[in-house]
Amino acid sequence: MKKIVILMLSMLITTSSFAQTDLSLEEAIQIALQRNSALVKAKNNLVGNKASVRSAYGNLIPTFGLRTSWDWRRVEDSGGTQLDNNGNPYVIPPTSIETRNYNLGAGGSVVLFDGLANYANISSEENRYEAAELNLDKMKRDIVQTTIIFYYTILKNKALLKVREENLKYNQKLLETISERNKLGSAPIADLYAQQVQSGSAEVEVIRSQNQVDVAQNTLIDYLSLDVLQEYNFVSKIDTVNASNFNYYSKDFDNVKSMVDYALLHRTDYQGQQRIVKSTDEGITIAKGNYWPNITGGYNFSTTSLAIDELFNRRVWGVNLGLSFPIFSNWNTETSVQYAKINYYNAEEDLRALKRKIKIEIKQGYLDFVAVKKALDVAIKTVQSAAENRRVQYERYSLGSGTFLEVLQSDRDYQNALSSRIDAEFNFHSARKTLLNSLGKLGYKEYEITTDKGE
């Protein structure tokens, strides 16, 4: 009885150690949108951008501050003898005098005019904040696309592994058949050796395919910042594509020009770069503000006394106005303006480069999608033909009218057709998701389950 209990406990421990956690595609995307390191940093930076906007508005408001001080002084004189004006000596007694002084003040200052640089700074920071928000949106879409492709790669490799396993079973069964026929003298020894080689190759392919599955799983687990030692069961399936639903998957894509026009209106990274251009344009205004007079104002209040209960008996109020006019700044203002213009020109060039990138992404993405669509259509038909050819060649060999080499070749053709079919289908889905992201149509909001912190 004791041995049985120990055995059951061992089985429970072993089962819990290798327990798998189900992970669907939707859950993987949710995790990626929470744990991706670059996304977390971008969210933190967005909080800083928002603080910069608040600071820019704060520059329009007068500052305010309090100041206070207290000092104590004691003067001691030991006394002595001195002469008066007539030369007569007189005695000065020892003295000790203490004084205390209490001071309290308040005041502040405000910039009344600085060449409109403070208003330009508000506009600049607002545009930068909006650009950061839009770029964060694009980053989320890219993360969704990357997660989907990583997940699809796992499903593709699993499908290929299943094909390899079925092929191994087929070859092992065929090996048994040929071995029996060889014993009966109806199959030459060369066919037996050839099938042994074929079975061994099929087993190697299974091992290789299993390794590809493990590599793909580890890649996704690492991307999601999960524990790579934990076992996960990837439970989502991918839709099967055939001639009946080709149009459904292609409905978002028409001609390249209309897709480019749509992307330029909806791609958030393009909108973000437009905000950067506006921000750098305001930077020129900020730099030129040093050409203008600077007007500042200030106000203050102070009180001082020798006793704390008399602190507000004497009050001093003050208001001041200052004007400074720049005449020569060692060309520092000209340099600042020139650098601001350079930043503006560079931002415009980045915008033009991004526009070209979007165009090539959509054009190439559309060509890739059309190519994999055609390849998938051919692969579907090829699998049907290869399966029928393998059946026919095996029957001809069984009847003695065909060679074993033809059986082997038909089996290879069938395996290649299945692999091509799987690759084409997953390439079709990946190309579609990539093109949707290039258009700005790949969503992410349905996967978000938490709100951003600090907002």
Residue 124 sits in a domain whose CATH number is 1.20.1600.10
Worst-scoring range by mean pLDDT, 227-231, 257-261, 355-359? 227-231
pLDDT tier for residue 135 given thresholds of 50, 70 and 90: very high
Q: Compute the chain's Rg from CA coordinates.
A: 41
Encoding tokens for residue 341? 């213009």
For residue 79, how many other CB atoms are within 10 A of its CB? 10
Of residues 287, 321, 268, the one with CA closest to residue 137: 268
Among 439, 425, 442, smallest CA distance to 365 is for: 439
Give the tens place of pLDDT for each residue, 45-97.
Answer: 999 999 999 999 999 999 999 999 989 888 877 777 777 677 777 777 887 88
Cβ 95 vs Cβ 77: under 8 Å? yes
- The beta strands (E) that lie in 293-342 are given as 294-305, 315-324
Lowest-confidence pick of 127-136, 341-350, 379-388, 442-451: 442-451
Task: Give the model confidence (pLDDT) of 216-245 as tens digits.
Answer: 999 999 999 888 888 888 888 877 776 666
Does some domain include residue 279? yes
Q: Is residue 27 part of a domain?
A: yes
Percent of the chain with pLDDT over 70: 93
Res 437: pLDDT: 93
Across the range 18-22, mean pLDDT stands at: 73
pTM of the model: 0.80
8 A C-beta contact, residue 241 and residue 249: yes
The total domain count for the chain is 1
pLDDT at 300: 94
Lowest mean pLDDT among 32-36, 147-151, 340-344, 381-385: 381-385
pLDDT tens-digit series, residues 388-433: 888 888 788 777 777 777 777 787 888 888 888 888 889 988 999 9
Q: What is the mean pLDDT of residues 137-148?
A: 94
Residue 16 has pLDDT above 50, yes or no: no
Write out the two tokens for 107: 């005041």
**pLDDT for 362:** 93
Q: In 3D, which of 216, 156, 79 has the Cα closest to residue 423? A: 156
Tell me the C-alpha distance between 119 and 285, whole Å: 9
- Average pLDDT over the chain reads 85
Q: Is residue 310 part of a domain?
A: no
CA distance 197 to 115: 85
Whether the Cβ atoms of residue 378 and residue 300 lie closer than 8 Å to each other: no
Instruction: Note whether residue 322 is domain-resident.
Output: no
| 101 belongs to a structural domain | no
- Which whole number is the average pLDDT over 138-147? 94
Token pair for 10: 């061992």
Least confident range from 147-151, 180-184, 375-379: namely: 180-184
Band the pLDDT of 127: cuts 50, 70, 90.
very high
Coil, helix or strand for 176? helix
Q: Is position 320 within any domain?
A: no
pLDDT beyond 70 at 19: no
CA distance linking residue 376 with residue 245, whole number of Å:
12
Place of tokens 């090829």: 382
pLDDT of 272-290, one tens digit each?
A: 999 999 999 999 999 999 9
Query: Which residues span the domain enclosing 45?
Result: 22-63+114-296+330-445
What is residue 20's predicted lDDT score, i.e. its pLDDT? 76
* Per-residue pLDDT at 8 exceeds 70: no
Reply yes or no on whether the pLDDT at 214 is more than 90: yes
Whether 256 is covered by a domain: the verdict is yes
Q: Which tokens sit at 221?
A: 């687990």
Contact 290, 336 (CB under 8 A): yes
Contact 416, 437 (CB under 8 A): no
